[in-house]
Structure 1
Amino acid sequence: MPPAATYQELGHGITLIDAQIQRPGLAACYLIQEGDRAAFVETGTALSVPGLLEVLEHKGITRDQVDYVIPTHVHLDHAGGAGALMSHLPEARLVIHPRGARHMIDPSKLIAGATAVYGEEAMARMFGEILPIPEERVIQAQDGDTVSLNGRTLTFLDTPGHAKHHFSVVDEAGHGAFSGDTFGLSYREFDTDRGAFALPTTTPVQFDPDALHASVDRLVDQGLDYMYLTHYGRVNDLSRLQAEQHEMIDAYVDMARAHADAGEGRHEALVEGMMALLVKRLRTHGCDMPEPRVRELLGMDVELNVQGLEFWLDHE
């Protein structure tokens, strides 16, 4: 019987699994299989974990065959389920950016911060229980460090800009990098004959435009064919997307600075400005989706992006 979770085989031993967060096609986890060993990149939330385990079972991979769990950073849609997933994988070790390790070992600050934003009831409904991970099961991956998955090398690159605790995972066997949020968001609903449409994410509270520009270039400079995005799926045509990421990062910054002194109306002005920018770029990309549907799909991302821009404005 197939699992409840939606998954897609991408070749090269890589399986995309929908993390089942809010809507289909919003957030992905990846399973990498090399021979009889496996690793997860991203975990989704604790509520994603049953689906990940079902896919393992459906593919005939036992839980003790998983060697690594690798969130690209500790935001809850990427790492909120790490503790819950690790509790089912007796041989797995968590690989995490050094700046994020303490939040995985003791997630109390992550929990407190998210609870302050969402409230306890919504927190439980959206993210489930965030469990700590024993320190002895945690590997802190510095820039350039590698791990071997049954002889398959995974290389970790420090890629700040979206978050200081963000790395990307280069997988030469998969001809790509698992870029988390560094190479932007790209929802399949916006694909056209030109290919994928991607937009940068400036989610609070560590947006750094100069660092993000550099990280985008560093990823493309690896000479790979694909980026495996958390939001959502595999994209190619990296040179075009690279140029478009740079254009939009600059446009975000220009728009933020233009509204820096807008007072009480700043947030609303930035939300409308960013939505208008993205709708215009989608039209140029050949997307003819009705604007209300575009706003529905991008509303949450625009709101979070604007919060990130405002935090950056107030602290640069």
Structure 2
Amino acid sequence: MSAVAWIILLIFLLSALGLLGWVVLGNSLVRVPSGSLGLLMAKGRATDQTLLPGPHFVFAFRRRMVEEYPSVEMAYRADGIGDPADGNTGGGSATLESPGPPLRVTLGDRTEATVAMTVRFQLVPERLREVHERFGPYGIFGVVRDQSARAIRATLSDTDFGIEQFFGADRTACEERLAEAVRKAVQPDGIKVTGFVLGAVELGKTGEVIQATVRARYELERERAEAETRSVRALNDANLEERLGAPSDAAWRYRETDLWRELVERTNALQVALRAGPGSAPPPGRAADDSANPAGARPDE
């Protein structure tokens, strides 16, 4: 074999090796998008290797795939505003927020309440394999919903909890206690709570009684203020009657504002009727009168 043939064979082998190396290198580079975590799957099974956002080198000859999970905060809102059927409630990157119905609980003083809340959480990267094997990408919001509901019901059913805990300075302490209970409930599942917000609390008929009691106090204050206003107005009217015999119109100008106010309060709407001119259409309700009277005839004719 001549030297030229060896050179041609060597060039061919080097080109083939370079092409093979380029293909292997291209297939071995895995890029995890920003805001996501990648769980490396080998032969369909989850591994302990979690890929952070950015490029990573994974040997291409392994039968592997990367399952993506969100690395940013997710939120579960139990306030009844959104509809879970409107969008995906899974843990994929398609959505980072899931709505749900408010939570019905029974307090320690046997009062029924409907509690709205928002739980913000993140996945623990070191425990991503456990999250994948237990819940998968579409079961994260479900476990947060169930565990947080169980923790809140257990906390609010304690005997030292009552409706007073939802008002004033006690509300802040109640919110912190509920946040700690939810944090401990989801932590064993590889989920870290980053925020908890206690929303509106509906107390049913008990809340109606509280609102009626508060309104009664302010309505009494309003009646007292109106009584004082009526007394002062009566005195002003008495002084006005004494000055009506005076030739000056200053007294009437004093009462002009009150008279206009009374007119506006008594009249819901002012209607102005304009008489139709020659050749214009008659106003509504006059067709019967016009048909009864001939054109140009007066009523007495």
TM-score range, shorter chain: under 0.3
Higher radius of gyration, 1 or 2: 2
Structure 1-normalised TM-score? 0.27
